[in-house]
Chains A and B, each alone.
Chain A
Amino acid sequence: MPVNFEGIREFARIAQDPQELVRHARGNIELWANLFVIGWAVAFMLWQGFGFAVIVGTVFAIWAILAVSLNLVVGFTGLLSVGHIGFFGLGAYTMAILTSDPAYEQLRTEAIPTFGWPFFAALPVCIGLAGLTAVLVGVVFNRFRDDIFVLVSFGFAIIAFNVFLNLRSVTRGAFGIHEIARPEIGGWVFDGEVEFLLLALVFLGLVMLVSWFITTSSFGRVLTAIREDEQAIEVFGYRATHFKLAVWVISAMMTGLAGGLFASWTTFIDPNSFILLESVLLVSIVILGGLATIWGSLLGAMAFVLLEEGMRFIPYLPTEYIGQARQVVLGILLVLLMLFRPQGLVGRYRL
């Protein structure tokens, strides 16, 4: 996609006249959503200080990678997947098992095999394993659409969670895996929060770049056509199933990358990070931000992360219920969006 010079020229023309600008801004939900979320982010940074913002920023980056990758499937191809948390967990567990410290592992009862690899050696394995699983899952799931696809993707998330929880000889079940390595390049360890944030942002940029290439290429146009009318694009000689499988695998690989990053960031994982609810929240982020736009996913992830912080302003709300209150707000937001704005805040595609 070339840069939209027309739009910029149009904006420059409008911006010359303040009255025109106001008239243009009124009722423009996209503009207000952008202004609101970004303004909120800036205000939050000023309020809480840089250090806290860095941690929130890393959370944002990981959610954003997830949202961007899921948007490829949900927004651009029109398959509402609630199962991506499975790939996320797969990436995280691969990273955990490959990089966790074997010396530490020997000290624990029921030692599980760990390898002590460096982060950057394990990351491709995370991506590859997620992709491989996605091929297997995708071949089965490819024939389902709409409601039934939602159901089977729920199923994938639950099966994955069951594996993480119950395959104790590999994942150590509910006890989780400790001492996951932080990334390092040539002796320089990304152990500070700022360094990790930068790394996460670099990966986010890469993921965005890849999905930008995908969505603006002819491949992406076929995906959009599949979303609009699968039978029509098959008439033109495109094998819809192959395209769907390809984008499913690419999206799963990106999710696996996010999983690896997440495991390395928290240095401890257990199955509770990969419950079905997280997957539902992820889908809500994508829908909230906007379907079929990369920027929408970023906006959704940012709004989601900031929503939690915003909840602290509500009086009489005990701190332990902040997550739940956010969930209530998110649920109500989803209902309102579906009523009035089925494409999400800045979306290009109505569900």
Chain B
Amino acid sequence: MASNRESARGLPRLINVPGTRLIAALLTALALGYIAWKIGQAPPQALQFAFNGLAVGAVYALLALGFTLVYSTVWFFDLYYGAAAALGAYGVFYLRTDPSLGSRLDINSIPVNVIFGTVVAGVIAWTLHTVLEPRLRARASPTALRTGVALVAIAMGIYTAIVLSYPEHLHLTLSPAVGLATAAVGIVIAQKVAHEAVSTANSTLVALISAVPAAALGAWFGYLLFGTPEAGLYLSWGVSCLLAGCVGLALYRGLYVYMRERARSPLIMLVASLGILLAIAAFIVIVFQSAPRPLPDAFGSTPLNIAGARIKGFNVFAIGVALAGFAGMWFLLKMTSFGRAVRAIGDDEEVSKVVGINTTVIIAVVFFIGAMYAAMAGILTGHDTAVQPRMGLLLLLKGWIASVVGGIGNLYGAIVGGFVLGLVEQFGIWDLAGEWKDAISFVLLILFLSFWPRGLLPRR
């Protein structure tokens, strides 16, 4: 089985030519020596490049994290991932554009609202059905269950369409949702804590008791949000991440599941997702036109001065997001039963099915999370530079390279690879012009595949 997957990955073995290791060591020494020499020449400038590298690397690390999660679960390259990045960035553009930036605030495309409303309705319907069906099977008739689920889903779809239709009132339209979500999270956490503390606690009772403070907290949150229109930008991040995630989930559940049943090789999935990427990229151009567009400033544009080098506050935030994303994924994969299921599926999907893991559900959630990571990376890129329809494919490739550099399928490798790629790109353009950075990252990829095909931190 392992060898099977090895061949599916297409990872080459190390060349069996004597001296390969010598060349690899020489290359590493050369690269490190070059960087050391450059740093010695102009330390403040080196610090500047390092900051730039970390800022870019944060985005790559986020991409690589999501990419690795998806790839090491299903073992095929899902190119929708790139489209998710573009969708996320354009979601923010759609919901939050400053009229002063010369962009059209009036791109209120009804078809777009309807499409996303439908997607969300479908995802909600699927989620509710998956969660409720096994629990209520004995108590409720299937027809009643289906009707209820369909009604809730349609309501949620309409709600999404309304939220998308009034981007300037995001804080008003979203405050009930945020309040409800806070309350729900509060109840769940209380239940978990009670369960840990007293294993015999009556969960219904705990839920009822904790519902009161949780509901109060939720109401307070909603009320706070109601009065702060400045929160719109950050709400739009959440909304576009969720939307991109929903599209990812819908794609997996509605398409990839059936395709994987028939696919003979991972290339089929790759080509199909390539088709999806093409279609979504073109769709974005049709709705938003192809010119690059700026996003509003997130944290002001005054750079921080650290030891003679400057870094934008937003870039520090991006690095923080990458680290938080890593921490979140580490927790999810290493600490929860969901993470155990994900790793089991990555090791052997058939056996996971046999031992009773609902692989379809788990993988669908993985696609949701992966697409959310990609969307967040796209949003960070969009705020840092600009959004453009072609950014998806390039970001996807960067995430792919970062995960190969770090060691494909390894969580720690993903974040290391992302930052290494960012740093190498920035130090590489020190002597060359900045336009060569894409070429540099691919040269790095080819070097890595030739000399360290398993990356810096190989998956066990």
Interface residues of A (CB under 8 A from B): 80, 140, 143-152, 154-156, 158-159, 162-163, 165-166, 275-277, 280-281, 283-284, 287, 321, 324-328, 330-335, 338-339, 342, 350-351
Contact = CB atoms under 8 A, between A and B. Distances in A.
Given A150-B77, A335-B275, 12 more contacts: A144-B12, A145-B7, A150-B270, A155-B397, A158-B439, A287-B271, A328-B283, A328-B286, A331-B275, A335-B272, A342-B263, A351-B265
B276 A331 contact: yes
Interface stretch (B152-160, B201-209, B299-307, B443-451): B443-451
B270 A334 contact: no
Given A145-B10, A339-B259, A151 B279 contact: no
B390 interface: yes
Contact of B450 (A140, A327, A334): A140
A334 B445 contact: no
A146 B259 contact: no
A342 B8 CA distance: 18
B4 to A, nearest CB: 12
A334 B390 contact: no
A143 B12 contact: yes
18 contacts: A80-B270, A140-B450, A143-B12, A146-B9, A148-B10, A155-B442, A159-B438, A163-B439, A166-B436, A276-B393, A325-B286, A327-B278, A328-B278, A331-B274, A331-B277, A331-B278, A334-B275, A342-B268
Contacts of B15: 143
Contacts of B393: 276-277, 280
Interface string B117-132: 0000000000000000
Interface in B208-253: none
Contacts of B449: 144, 148, 152
B278 A149 contact: no
B278 A284 contact: yes
B275 A151 contact: no
A15 B3 CA distance: 51
Nearest to B10: A146
A81 to B, nearest CB: 12
A325 B400 contact: no
A338 B446 contact: no
Given A331-B278, A339-B258, A339-B262, A148 B9 contact: yes
B283 A152 contact: no
Q: Which of A140, A277, A335 has the most CB of B within 10 A?
A: A335
Nearest to B271: A338
A283 B393 CA distance: 15
Q: What does DSSP make chain B's interface, helix, strand, loop or mixed? A: helix
A159 B442 contact: yes
B282 interface: yes
Contact of A165 (B9, B12, B258, B435): B435
Interface of B: 7-12, 15, 76-77, 255, 258-259, 262-272, 274-283, 285-286, 390, 393-394, 397, 400-401, 404, 433, 435-436, 438-439, 442-443, 445-446, 449-450
A280 B274 contact: yes
Contacts of B271: 80, 283, 287, 334, 338, 351
A113 to B, nearest CB: 21
B61 to A, nearest CB: 18
Given A151-B404, A151-B445, A339-B258, A351 B281 contact: no
Contact of A146 (B8, B285, B450): B8
Nearest to A143: B12
A310 to B, nearest CB: 16
A147 B286 contact: no
A332 B285 contact: no
Nearest to B450: A140
Contact of A154 (B266, B283, B397, B450): B397
B443 A159 contact: yes
Contacts of B390: 275, 277
A166 B438 CA distance: 12
Contacts of A146: 7-10, 265-267
Contacts of A342: 263-264, 268
B397 A327 contact: no
Contacts of B264: 342, 350-351
A88 to B, nearest CB: 18
B272 A338 contact: yes
Contacts of A325: 282, 286
A342 B261 CA distance: 13
B270 A328 contact: no
Contacts of B267: 80, 146-147, 150, 351
Nearest to B275: A334
Contacts of B272: 334-335, 338-339
A324 B289 CA distance: 10
A252 B77 CA distance: 26
A331 B76 CA distance: 18
A280 B393 CA distance: 11
A331 B275 CA distance: 4
A287 B280 CA distance: 19
